[in-house]
Structure 1
Amino acid sequence: MRVFVAGGAGVLGRRLVPRLVARGHQVTATTTSAAKLGLVTRSGAEAVVMDGLDAASVGEAVATARPDVIVHQMTAISGKPDIKHFDRWFATTNRLRTEGTDHLLAAAEAVGVAHVVAQSYGSWNGVREGGWVKTEEDPLDPTSTGRGAAAIRHLEDVVLKANGAVLRYGAFYGPGATDDQVELVRKRQYPVVGNGAGHSSWVHLDDAADATVLVVEQRARGVFNIVDDEPAPANEWLPYLAECAGAKPPMRIPTWLARPLAGPVAVTMMTEGRGFSNAKAKRELGWQLRYPSWRQGFKQELA
């Protein structure tokens, strides 16, 4: 197939594009910087500079590629995590998930692209009621990620309305995905908040890329949680991450102190977060994970 990967030079795009090329697909991958064109072409794809927030830029790139499927992997998450100022940190990503998604869907309609696959998020932002682990039938929490929750809701609504596929990826780890977090852990600047009972789901970049290839090739539709087998509370995964990184155990701070220091998003994630089940993706896509648990993956990546 002709596959158009918007955001092909991103942390997941760099794992996804070579897999698509290796499986015989003709891939066009975008980047926002001419300096990254070589990163894409070395993987065997055609590279194009595109501004996901510019409708004309998106329309021209898609019209030139004339793809069979569009894969939306555009984000702008880089640099030191700033969970305290979450809306500011995610401002451009939120626009890419709203305006950028709309531009891609408009371009898809103009060219006659029949299938769109889009990156969503499903790590700890499941609705905060009932059990700790959520399926695709459960709603996302409407407030836990600030303005980002509305942006994700928009992306999912319009992509599903277009009969596309929404992939709720867990928290990424792997080459280039968690370097900044690990640095904070080593500096003991990533504490466990309160009882640390809030659950998160993780997924290795390679497993996420493998699942995405399956969705593309099977032209799957609907929502899929792309996470590993073991949603876990912060009081388990964070100390283990520190151990794998050769760091001292993380500090623990009470909720009342964390709220002004780290902000409400961090407190919610650490104390009330809900993880996700991957049963549907494994059952319907035939997805097999290289790293069924973050326990294996953290150890492998940080060895």
Structure 2
Amino acid sequence: MRVFVTGATGALGRHLVPGLVASGHAVTATTRTPANAAGLRAAGAEPVVLDGLDREAVIAAVAAAEPDVIVHQMTALGGVRSLRNVDKVFAATNELRTRGTDNLLAAAERAGTRRVVAQGHSFVYEHSGGPVKSEEDPAVAEPPVASAARTLAAVRHVDENVPLGVPEGIVLRYGTFYGQGASDHLVDAVRKRQLPVIGGGAGVWSFIEVADAAAATLAAVEDGVPGAYNVVDDEPAPVAEWLPYLAEVAGAKPPMHLPAWLGRLLAGGFFVEQMTAARGCSNDKARRELGWVPRFPSWREGFRAWAG
């Protein structure tokens, strides 16, 4: 098939593009940076330098490529360190998730592309009810803190519009990325004891190793009915369990513990909400309908391979 990949030089794209090429697909891969074009060509893709917010340029590039599938991986998350003001940190990514998504859906309609596979996120779920969510559980209606309102609205924009915008719209609700080229700052923060367990660490996180996430994306390019899929490993875990383990395998001292009120002062309300009230996700649907099996079924062996 002809596959048009946006955000192809991001953490996931760097694994996805070679996987698509190895599977026999003809890949057109976009980047905002001309210097990245040679690397994409070396990986076997046809590079296109493209600003995802330039509607006419996006429509023209997709029309020229005539893809069977568009993969939407556009973000601007390089260098993110603090989540104190989420909307400020994610401002550029929010534009790519709203205007950029609309541009790709318009391009798909013009080009007759039936399938769009888009990057979502597992923190879309309400922080209530049971600790592990399936795709049938409700998305968050109101942001837990005002400073994350635009970011959560942008995630919902992808979640709601991609399945409606094309005949075969798929949203992959990725867990927290780790692994080669992804979240290295997380290990740095753990080694510097800058990532504490806050308020007891009852928030449940779902992780996914970045190459496993790329494998699930490849599976969604080739198969799967329209809708949403949680792309996470098999073991959702509370912060109080996974964070000390990450410190151990990274050779760091155990994380400090802070009360929630102090965490809010130092790190902001959104981060405290994630550390104390987040819900994990089940990957049963992705395993069943995409035929995908993560290489690292648990963050335990994945963390050891990554940070150890």
Aligned partner (choices 188, 195, 212) of residue 190 of structure 1 = 195
State the partner residue of 1:238.
243
What is the correspondence of 1:171-250 to structure 2 with a 5 Å cutoff? 171-218=176-223, 220-250=225-255
Aligned partner (choices 156, 160, 163) of residue 159 of structure 2 = 156
1:128 aligns with 2:127: yes
AA paired with 1:139? P
CA contact 2:68–2:113 (8 Å) conserved in 1? yes
Distance 2:174 2:13 in 1: 13
Distance 1:120 1:107 in 2: 19
Q: Secondary structure at the match of 2:252?
A: coil
State the partner residue of 2:139.
140
1:50 aligns with 2:50: yes
Distance 2:224 2:302 in 1: 29
Give 1:219 deviation, angstroms.
Answer: 5.0
Give 1:195 deviation, angstroms.
Answer: 0.8
Count of residues in Structure 1 that have an aligned counterpart in Structure 2: 302
What is the correspondence of 1:63-102 to structure 2 with a 5 Å cutoff? 63-102=63-102
Distance 1:247 1:39 in 2: 35
CA contact 1:171–1:202 (8 Å) conserved in 2? yes
Structure 2 alignment gaps of length 5 or more: none
Q: Secondary structure at the match of 1:47?
A: strand
State the partner residue of 1:12.
12
Aligned partner (choices 290, 298, 308) of residue 285 of structure 1 = 290
Give 1:64 deviation, angstroms.
Answer: 1.2
Q: Secondary structure at the match of 2:85?
A: helix
1:267 aligns with 2:266: no
Give 1:180 deviation, angstroms.
Answer: 1.0
Distance 2:125 2:197 in 1: 20
State the partner residue of 1:167.
172
CA contact 1:37–1:49 (8 Å) conserved in 2? yes
CA contact 2:80–2:89 (8 Å) conserved in 1? no
Give 1:57 deviation, angstroms.
Answer: 1.8
Structure 1 alignment gaps of length 5 or more: none
Distance 1:204 1:224 in 2: 16
Distance 1:185 1:140 in 2: 30
User: What TM-score results when the alignment is normalised by the length of structure 2?
Assistant: 0.96
What is the correspondence of 1:112-127 to structure 2 with a 5 Å cutoff? 112-122=112-122, 124-127=123-126
Q: Secondary structure at the match of 2:58?
A: helix
Distance 2:186 2:153 in 1: 25
CA contact 2:116–2:170 (8 Å) conserved in 1? yes
**Could you say what the CA RMSD is over the residues aligned between the two structures, in angstroms?**
1.1
Say if 1:281 and 1:128 are closer, same or farther in 2 by CA, change over 3 A.
same
State the partner residue of 2:60.
60
Q: Secondary structure at the match of 1:127?
A: coil
Distance 2:230 2:19 in 1: 20
- Cα distance per residue 1:129-184 (max 9 Å; x no partner): 11010000012223144321111111111101124001000001111101111111
Q: Secondary structure at the match of 2:137?
A: coil
- Cα distance per residue 1:207-252 (max 9 Å; x no partner): 1111111111115311100000000000111111111111111111
Q: Secondary structure at the match of 1:146?
A: helix
Distance 2:57 2:231 in 1: 30
AA paired with 2:15? R
CA contact 2:30–2:49 (8 Å) conserved in 1? yes
Distance 2:240 2:154 in 1: 29
